[in-house]
Amino acid sequence: MVYDDGSDPLTAPRTSGTEGRDGFPDALKVLVAGGFGVGKTTFVSTVSEIEPLSTEELLTTVSEATDSLEGIEGKSTTTVAMDFGRLTLDERHVLYLFGTPGQERFWFMWDELSDGALGAVVLADTRRLEDCFSAVDFFERRGIAFVVAVNEFDGSYRYEPEEVRAAVDLKPEVPVVLCDARVPGSGIQTLVTLVQYLLTQTPAPAPAPSHGAHS
């Protein structure tokens, strides 16, 4: 995406004041959501430029009845509150990343975490694609723009983005990308895609009134 003058919104010079010329504040709150075990903690930890805050705890036998490990049998920890990280994309875009807990019993926290969020990354695992439906529905209902990022786990079947779009029943304009949450460059590109999409959702400023008009 580029501005009307041909400049890149991610590299354009910073303007004066607390907001850039596109109307976005310098600090953007972004959620990283998705089902249990989809890679949210890994995503935030990999791209964060600071030591990430993580609230992971060991899975216990007590949670076996509610936390299905089908397809992710090697998982031994789970996020019980949130993950937090920060990423500076350029002089004008600093992202504050909040990873949401995936289990249904922690969904009450999503409302608190989504307060003030400008956008979200919904991570999806093609082995358990239905686990991302709740996150997609959550952001659609609240009018929060999001992208769907398919985390390509080793051994999982590879689908084209448009196949995932059809399976999740996404609107045509919602970006679907393929990523590897373990690779910093892949996660950063996913976030760049989100920011570019957010810029397209920003209403155009109203034209200034003409001072020469007469009533």
**Domains of the chain, with CATH numbers?**
27-64+74-200 (3.40.50.300)
pLDDT tens per residue, range 36-62: 889 999 999 999 999 988 755 444 444
Residue 140 has pLDDT above 60, yes or no: yes
pLDDT at position 193 is 97
Dig out the tokens for 144 from the structure.
Answer: 């929060």
How far is residue 122 from each of residues 3, 40, 58, 70, measured CA to CA in Å?
Answer: 27, 9, 24, 20
pLDDT tens per residue, range 21-42: 455 557 899 999 998 889 999 9
